[in-house]
Amino acid sequence: MPKVLCIGSVYLDINCLRFPCEEGLPIEEERIGNEYEVITGGSAPNFARFCKRLEIEATLVGNIGRDLFGKIFRKMMTASSVTLSLMECEQALTNIGINFIAPNGVSVLTVAGSANENLAEEWVSKSVNNHIDDVAYIYLGGTFKLPHLMPYFESLAKELARRRVSVILDHGSVPKDASAETKRRMRSLASSVNFYLPNRSEFLGLWEADSLDAAAEKLMASGPSMQRLVVVKDGSAGAVGFTSDERITVPAYDTPIRSTVGAGDSFNAGLIRAMSLGQDLESSMDFASAAAATAISGADFAIATIKAIRKRGSRISPQLNPASKGILKPGEKIA
């Protein structure tokens, strides 16, 4: 089984589902919802959880406070069988995300807390040193929430390239107040990793471009021509993959939506799983889309087993999803 070390910002998410927020949330007015769920959130925890479902061993490195939400976070991650390397910071508050999701999938996302900004470089580097000899991948998730670790991540990526450990980056949304220095460092990191997996607005925002092709061109010109894969996630429009000589578009699956929070992270896990099984880029992106659709429709990664993802692929007609021909076939590579 391949192993991945997932490093990133972590949250306890309270998702208010089918919430009346299609037009946003007004001030000084109460909005009433009904259904909600409490789940672990953040790109690295989501990716780790999803990896476990897809038979990849995952260890999570992050920071929580010594508080009730931290305890709940730890308990829920443990229940997902993810191995934990969590720093526990006395002065910090576990980060929470309070998310409102409308029936049509539109969402309003809010966060609070201070644990992520207190994740210490010493803790991360100790965890990396403990695992570096037996992991195939290191995943850096939600890294814009960890600007203080950017110099470390840059040097880590260089070290991992020498050691032939693949680095996966999903930096998450580009904060409005991100400094020019943080953005410069993030571009440098993005151009030195093996798998760079932003969504459309993150990609255009970081590379200051107005089309995916223009952003990809800037990225490709920015670093050495190494074996690098960029996959840009584009919500219901699917995803676009770039290598130095290919551009591949894969549509999204037509699926009922419960919540799209974490869609991108389930996509990332599906992509890495299929690639680790030797599938080509197009087939891997298709498997990733099916993984995301499975998670979106159930809003819980627990249902997204390899079997469920395959089943979803086989239900889609070629007209609806021309890329579905690439889905992993039963018994093909996974016994």
Ligand X SMILES: Nc1ncnc2c1ncn2[C@@H]1O[C@H](COP(=O)(O)OP(=O)(O)OP(=O)(O)O)[C@@H](O)[C@H]1O
Q: Per DSSP, which regions of the chain are E strands? A: 3-8, 11-16, 36-41, 57-65, 83-89, 96-101, 107-112, 137-141, 166-170, 195-196, 229-233, 239-242, 247-250
Rounded to a whole number of angstroms, the minimum distance from the CB of residue 224 to ligand X is 26
Q: How many CB atoms lie within 10 A of CB 87?
A: 18
Comparing C-alpha atoms, which of 264, 199, 252, 221 is closest to residue 44? Answer: 264
**CB of 160 or CB of 288, closer to ligand X:** 288
**CB of 141 or CB of 251, closer to Mg ion:** 141
**CB of 128 or CB of 328, closer to ligand X:** 328
Find tokens 């994740």 and name the residue: 119
Q: Which does 297 bind (CB under 5 to 8 A by kind): ligand X, Mg ion, none?
A: none
Rounded to a whole number of angstroms, the minimum distance from the CB of residue 198 to Mg ion is 7
Q: Which does 235 bind (CB under 5 to 8 A by kind): Mg ion, ligand X, none?
A: ligand X
The two structure tokens encoding residue 300: 């819980």
Distance in angstroms (rounded) separating the CA atoms of residues 262 and 142: 12
Rounded to a whole number of angstroms, the minimum distance from the CB of residue 288 to ligand X is 7
Q: Which does 253 bind (CB under 5 to 8 A by kind): Mg ion, ligand X, none?
A: ligand X
Q: Which residue is nearest to ligand X (CB)?
A: 264
Task: Tell me the number of residues near Mg ion by CB under 5 A.
Answer: 1
**49 in helix, strand or coil?**
helix
Distances (CA, A) of 194 to 146, 166, 226: 20, 6, 8
Rounded to a whole number of angstroms, the minimum distance from the CB of residue 283 to ligand X is 14
Rounded to a whole number of angstroms, the minimum distance from the CB of residue 297 to ligand X is 9
Query: Scanning residues 240 to 269, which ones bind Mg ion (CB under 5 A)?
Result: 264
Rounded to a whole number of angstroms, the minimum distance from the CB of residue 71 to Mg ion is 26
Q: Which does 223 bind (CB under 5 to 8 A by kind): Mg ion, ligand X, none?
A: none
The two structure tokens encoding residue 161: 């390239």
**CB of 46 or CB of 127, closer to ligand X:** 46
Which residues pair with residue 96 across a beta bridge?
A: 12, 112
Task: Using CB under 6 A, list all residues that contact ligand X.
Answer: 105, 199, 233-236, 238-239, 252-253, 255, 257, 260-265, 267, 289, 292-293, 296
The two structure tokens encoding residue 55: 């038979």
Applying CB under 5 A, the residues found at the interface with Mg ion are 264
